[in-house]
Amino acid sequence: MTTAVAVPRAGGSGGRTAVAARARQVTKAYGGGETRVVALDAVDVDIARGQFTAIMGPSGSGKSTLMHCLAGLDSLTSGRIWIGETEITKLKDKQLTRLRRDQVGFIFQAFNLLPTLNALENITLPMDIAGRKPDKRWLDTVVQTVGLGGRLKHRPSQLSGGQQQRVAVARALAAQPEIIFGDEPTGNLDSRAGAEVLGFLRRSVDELGQTIVMVTHDPVAASYADRVLYLADGRIVDDMADPTAELVFERMLQFSGDESRTPAEYFEARGRTS
Ligand code: ADP
């Protein structure tokens, strides 16, 4: 058996679009009247298939809202969203639930593992629910690369935070979904464990054509991406290709107006604390 490649690379054959997710004029407002908050303001974005995209921006700029809307976890005030060929803003609840289950993977900062299941059972749970058989070889690759080999029978309470997050990452990757959304997926990991997880996400994009969208505050994490989108006040204000940590950090400073530290000082401090 060969490793199944469920998601062709961008531009690949097979008649599938090279866009894994698309947003058009997406607006999301909370509240009304004087308390109305516009979290997303007429956002247009295409997420290319087989790319690793990072979403950055100051706190409150709309990063989580954009991710939740793209993933079909949150409804819109207006606008349209597609995952692959399917317009999810037209789907009924049941159809949307099924699409999320079959085509979308999630990695959150909180690990969201089921405490009564062991690591392997947590990893295969979404596929078990969907009635899909895991690809054994791919599952082995995932488990091995995330470094869980000896701990598959452990329950979450018997694992460290870093190990629990690795289970959550493996769970998202194991089903080879159309697109994976990560909300600060390495936010609870030390820099070494974080780098391992990011390296694995990178490889799943390069070697398997997986599509990943990740919200992060960390310029080093963002530097693993192919593209960095910056949000400010619910709008995409910058779109950077081939980021480096230094370039991302400089851009962050530009948008936050914080000039208290130079990039060199930031990375020195990061190296000391992590
Ligand atoms: P970020 O992820 O960049 O920190 P969010 O997407 O969480 O930003 O929030 C964008 C804006 O929407 C913020 O002003 C926030 O206060 C507001 N917001 C988010 N969720 C809600 C909610 N459930 N009710 C009211 N306002 C919200």
Q: Which protein residue has the closest C-alpha to ligand 1 atom 15?
A: 60
Residue 165 identity (one-letter amino acid)? Q
Q: How far is the CA of 37 from the centre of ligand 1 (A)?
A: 8
Confidence of residue 10 (pLDDT cuts 50, 70, 90): very low
82 pLDDT higher than 90 = yes
* 1 has a pLDDT exceeding 60: no
% of the chain surpassing 70 pLDDT: 87
Q: Looking at residue 143, what is its pLDDT?
A: 85
Closest residue to atom 5 of ligand 1, CA basis: 62
- The mean per-residue pLDDT over the stretch 25-50 comes to 95
- 231 bridge partner residues: 236
Residue 128 CA to ligand 1 center (angstroms) comes to 34
- Distance (Å, whole) CA 185 – CA 179: 15
Kindly state the tokens that stand for 115. Answer: 């405490």
Provide the pLDDT for residue 14: 45
Q: Give CA torsion, residues 206, 144, 113, 198, to 10 deg.
A: -40
Compute φ and ψ for 79, nearest 5 degrees: 110, 180
The encoded tokens of residue 264 equal 């060199």
In the block, which residue shows the tokens 């979403």?
Answer: 55
Please tell me which of 183-187, 191-195, 223-227, 251-255 the model is most confident about, judged by mean pLDDT.
223-227
Q: Which two tokens stand for residue 61?
A: 């700029």
Work out the percent of the chain whose per-residue pLDDT is above 90: 56
Protein residue with its CA nearest to atom 11 in ligand 1? 39
Diameter of the chain by CA atoms?
60
Distance in angstroms (rounded) separating the CA atoms of residues 131 and 261: 52
pTM of structure: 0.84
**pLDDT at residue number 188:** 80
